Amino acid sequence: MSKHLSLWLFFAVVILLNNSAFGQKSTKVLTLEDIYKNNLYSAKGFGAIRWMKDNAGYSTIENNASSQGNEIVRYEGRPS
């Protein structure tokens, strides 16, 4: 009885993997243009803020419109 159950479970797993996303292969090619220019893989939301070691300011990553990229920006003082 357990051999039949194991055999059925094996075939069920094979069929599920064959029909699911795990069994599918992606044909999309990852390009640098998609990452950096088209922002296809960019994070959504507010980025991280890091306090400086001297606690006199903080840094964050912001968009730079002139270079069409990101830059690290330092702000002096604490936000109010």
**Residues 19-38: tens digit of each pLDDT:** 655 555 667 888 999 888 88
Q: What is the pTM of this model?
A: 0.36
Strands (E), the chain: 49-51, 57-64, 69-76
CB 17 within 8 A of CB 23: yes
Average pLDDT, the chain: 77
